[in-house]
């Protein structure tokens, strides 16, 4: 069975400082991994995805994530936070080889950006 | 490009009432999903469909029903509303091919339907 754990429910940074949102996963197969962002009262939007190609994945708005199989991690980073980055972020794992082919969501990390 | 459209955006129900949340997508995606999101929680899968005429239960299907008569539409039915069904509901769609190499699992989401049961 697949699962995903977001290690921080809330992260607060100052504008212009680095962002680190942590995610660990568990999967029986070679998973696909995603980060989604949700702004208040909006649907979820895909930030980036890992699908067994390059382990360092670049996404939109300057975010990137590194797939580390030995650590079963897929942490999201950004060198310099912007006020517009304040949102809820979800780490998501997919096992395409399972019959269900659905996604498993982490519980989310709320990113707060201080001026 | 409309993408995934959900209606209504907001609804208040009384206990025991019924309603249908509508979802339609114009991307010709074969997979469609219904998730619910409770405060401080991730999304939980209610039902999903791999194509017209085929539906299956997710993690939390009790109290809900779905149908998939066309590729575009995937309505979610609440038959006897209960306070525990107060939540934000998201419809999503994706295209998954038969080959593992094409299965990226990327979902496209609607903007959500906020349901309150009193």
For A22-61, the pLDDT digits (tens) are 999 987 677 889 999 999 878 889 999 988 778 899 999 9
Residue A15: predicted pLDDT: 97
Q: Mean of the per-residue pLDDT values for chain B?
A: 90
pLDDT of res. A97: 56
Rounded percentage of chain B residues whose pLDDT exceeds 70: 92
Task: Name the residue with higher pLDDT: A74 or B2.
Answer: A74
Chain-chain contact of B58 with A34 (C-beta, under 8 angstroms): no
Identify from B105, B109, B112 which residue to disrupt to test chain A contact, counting A C-beta atoms within 10 A and taking the largest count: B105
Task: Determine whether B18 is exposed, middle or buried from the number of CB atoms within 10 Å of its CB (0-12, 13-18, 19+).
Answer: exposed
Among the listed residues B70, B85, B78, B83, the one whose alpha carbon sits nearest the alpha carbon of residue B118: B83
Model confidence pLDDT, tens digit, residues A76-111: 999 999 999 999 999 998 865 555 556 888 999 999
pLDDT at B96: 74
Cα of B77 to nearest chain A Cα, Å: 20
Q: Which helix (H) or strand (E) covers residue B10, if one does?
A: strand B10-13
Residue at token pair 């304040």: A86
Residue A12 pLDDT > 60, yes or no? yes
Instruction: Give the best residue of A102, A107, A109 to mutate against chain B (max B CB count within 10 A).
Output: A102
Tens of pLDDT, residues B34-53: 999 998 778 899 999 989 99
A100/B48 CB distance under 8 A = yes
Q: What is the pLDDT of residue B101?
A: 47
Confidence band of B33 (pLDDT split at 50, 70, 90)? very high
Tokens of B110: 């609607």
Question: Per the CB < 8 Å rule, is B107 touching A100?
Answer: no
Burial of A77 (0-12, 13-18, 19+ CB in 10 A): middle
What average pLDDT score do residues B4-31 get? 95
List, in sequence order, every residue forming a beta bridge with B56; answer none if it has no partner.
B48
Segment B63-80 mean pLDDT? 96
């Amino acid at each position: 069975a697949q699962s995903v754990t977001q290690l921080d429910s809330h992260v607060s940074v100052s504008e212009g400082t680095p962002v680190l949102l942590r995610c660990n996963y568990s999967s029986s197969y070679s998973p696909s991994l995603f980060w989604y962002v949700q702004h208040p009262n909006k649907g979820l939007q895909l930030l980036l995805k890992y699908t067994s190609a390059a382990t360092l994945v670049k996404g939109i708005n300057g975010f990137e994530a590194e797939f580390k199989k030995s650590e079963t991690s897929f942490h999201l980073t950004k060198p310099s936070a912007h006020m517009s980055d304040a949102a809820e972020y979800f780490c998501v794992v997919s096992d395409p080889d399972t019959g269900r082919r659905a996604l498993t969501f982490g519980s989310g990390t709320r990113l707060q950006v201080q001026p | 490009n409309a993408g995934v459209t959900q209606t209504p955006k907001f609804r208040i129900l009384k206990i025991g009432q019924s309603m249908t949340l509508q979802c339609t997508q114009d991307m010709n995606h074969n997979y469609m999903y219904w998730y619910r999101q409770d405060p401080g929680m991730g999304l939980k899968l209610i039902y999903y469909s791999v194509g017209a005429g085929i539906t299956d239960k997710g993690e939390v299907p009790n109290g809900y029903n779905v149908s998939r008569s066309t590729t575009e539409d995937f309505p979610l039915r609440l038959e006897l509303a209960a306070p525990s069904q107060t939540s934000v509901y998201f419809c999503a769609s994706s295209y998954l091919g038969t080959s593992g190499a094409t299965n990226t699992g990327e979902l496209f989401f609607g903007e959500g339907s906020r349901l309150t049961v009193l």
